[in-house]
Chains A and B, each alone.
Chain A
Amino acid sequence: MDPLLLLVQALNGLQLGVMLFLLAAGLTLVFGIMNLVNLAHGSLYMIGAYFMAAFQGWTGSFLLALLLAVPATLVVGVLVEVIVLRRLYERDHLDQVLGTFGLILFFNELVRVIWGPAALFVSMPAALSGTVTLLPGAPYPVYRLLIIGVGLMVAAFLSWLVTRTRTGMLIRAGASNPTMVGALGVDIRLLFTLVFGLGAALAGLAGAMAAPLLSVESAMGDGVLILTFVVIVIGGIGSIRGAFAAAVIVGIVDTVGRAFLPILLREIFNRQVANAAGPALASMLIYLLMAAILAFRPRGLFGARG
């Protein structure tokens, strides 16, 4: 196997990983602290992408659109929290699943009503649209490097926020024992809104960053949501550190598996069998990984609470 190829694929995996991390960070905090299963997290990602397209059409600038899309998604997130989700905190998980699933359907139709059924286009600045040659013979898209950079910066910021600030202390305390934090006189409602808004902003950032790579269309967040749940379950619910580690692991396992598993299978089986089994097995890989990790560490890699 070509080591250069493996390196590029690892980079692809890292890029997918940091993208998943942006989504997983918010989801894991909301799940861990508010004990809320929020299936509508993928919708916020979709809304971030749609805002990106709309603002770019309006301002003509990539950067300006990005700077507007993130706070706009935050506002949508806070509105959803105040109007809908607050009513679900005391209910059991099944009610939450039902309620937030309803939100998915609502938002998927809403974007079609506002922006029409056709997929939207988001361009990237010319300076970012080319490739750079990292090593001889391995050109890599600049924009994907940028995503890796932004993702790592967000990870560093979150790590600082959670471990070094008072808000972070409350977040950690909330993840371990929200009732006790409330009893100590912390405005738990405000903390919840803050955490949810942060999660929404990160999902919006992920959506806005993904918009130039992907087709911006209704329901684009549904597939990514499943991967994100896998990440937070592997990482341990409520743990930012866990979300980061798991996102990178899932990103790399998925990418490398997709790239090399069919080739590996061909060494063992004939081509027809390998072609049939390869893609199926590759797409199962991360779920097998999740099952294996849960078997040994039921709370995930860095589970915050039992």
Chain B
Amino acid sequence: MIGRILALGLSAALLAGPALAQDKVKVGFIATFSGPGGVLGKHLHDGFMLGIDHSGGKLGGLTPEVIQEDDRLAPDVGLQVAKKLIERDRVDVMAGVIFSNVMMAIYKPVIDAGIPFISSNAGPSPIAGAQCSPMFFSTSWQNDGAHEAMGKYAQDKGHKKVYLMAPNYQAGKDALAGFKRFYKGEIADEIYTTVNQLDYSAEITQLRAAKPDAVYVFYPGGMGINFVKQYSQAGLTNQLPLLSAFTIDSTTLPAQGDAAIGTLTTAFWAIDLKNPVNEKFVADYQKKYNEIPSTYSAQAYDTALMLNAAIKDAGGKVSDKNALAASLKKASFDSVRGGKLKLGNNNIPIQNFYLLETVKGADGNLVSSVRSTVLTDHQDAYAKNCPMK
């Protein structure tokens, strides 16, 4: 047994070889690359790699080795690949992660292993609150942000009676709770549908009969494609404002088509946000991947920029994890959001949320375009439960 462990250690050392010299940084990048959610992983990874390109192909002067792993949207698989990245690949930092359920499964093992961890997407409330950690950072948002922003918009707009719909699982319930945190008017009805439901004709008939002022939905991925198309086919898009979050973005728009035109959504970023970093990001992304970037790509782009700034600050010493985490905490870089990224006490961004409208751009592509700023320097509601300063 001891012999085997020695042999393993020896071969690992041999394999690692020259990498032991500090000219290289190993990044474990976990996302969902297969199945229906796979398109999100692609956007996340593409954004991250472009961020490295824009940092001169390096991260803080070190040659990056990005080890990409697929969680297949299963928490147990996520845990498996996270352990592999920590124990076998001995990564210096971890990044990525799309879905909150996967994040909750791998969060503690990664943090307990003392590895700095940057979420490029998922922001579940426990991690923003009581379970926050000095090793954890986010370049995205806490999950509720976009929903709260839409609630604020509906309230400011003077909608009196809003019909709410979401899938029947935790994120769906959190979404509607986030909306209601800022919207104080009447709720026409609150409907939870089966996860991955295909047909919404029954629900659309009911919502039409309820005669609301507006409809708010949270239907990520394929559910959003189905719902938005069917809502439009029922002739409702032009009659009844459709408000949403994480339902309409550049990963779904090619499949939603004109059905999405005129719908409103809220997000921290948009393709036409005016700032030099974003303009360069959007132009080069389209050049490199021949695709319109999404919020996923933008968040992961910032993840790379944050790592670049932090490793530079740490003088390229990625082996001292606590020092690297401290450098991440004070990392100063120009974000795609415009200006420096500002982190809260829980290491989750304090940022603006915008109202976006889906329009047909000059080139014929559908894009979500900025209309107004709904929330300015918004911090999530859970930060006060986080004991960190």
Residues of A participating in the B interface, judged by any CB pair closer than 8 Å: 2, 5, 8-9, 12-13, 15-16, 108-109, 112, 116-121, 123-124, 129-131, 139, 141, 143-144, 212-220, 223-224, 255-256, 258-259, 262, 275, 278-280, 282-283
Contact = CB atoms under 8 A, between A and B. Distances in A.
Contacts of B34: 109, 112
B205 A214 contact: no
A21 to B, nearest CB: 15
Given A220-B222, A279-B193, A117 B42 contact: yes
Interface in B16-57: 33-36, 38-39, 41-42
B64 interface: no
22 contacts: A5-B206, A8-B205, A12-B205, A13-B202, A119-B254, A119-B255, A130-B235, A131-B234, A131-B235, A141-B235, A213-B199, A214-B229, A215-B252, A218-B35, A218-B36, A218-B38, A220-B198, A223-B196, A223-B198, A258-B202, A259-B205, A279-B193
Contacts of B222: 119, 214-215, 217, 220
Given A131-B234, A131-B235, A139-B234, A213 B202 contact: no
Contacts of B190: 275
A215 B226 contact: yes
Contacts of A219: 35-36
Contacts of B191: 262, 279
A231 to B, nearest CB: 15
Given A141-B233, A215-B225, A258-B203, A123 B198 contact: no
B255 A123 contact: no
A283 B195 CA distance: 10
Given A112-B34, A117-B38, A121-B256, 16 more contacts: A5-B205, A12-B205, A108-B35, A117-B41, A119-B36, A144-B201, A144-B233, A212-B229, A213-B229, A213-B233, A214-B222, A217-B225, A258-B202, A259-B206, A279-B194, A282-B194
Contacts of B226: 213-215
The 6 A-B pairs of least Cβ separation, nearest first, read A215-B225, A119-B255, A117-B38, A215-B222, A12-B201, A131-B235
A279 B192 contact: yes
A259 B35 contact: no
B80 to A, nearest CB: 19
Contacts of A215: 221-223, 225-226, 229, 252, 255
Contacts of B33: 117
Contacts of A283: 194
Contact of B225 (A16, A129, A130, A214): A214
A278 B254 CA distance: 34
Contacts of A216: 255
B201 A16 contact: yes
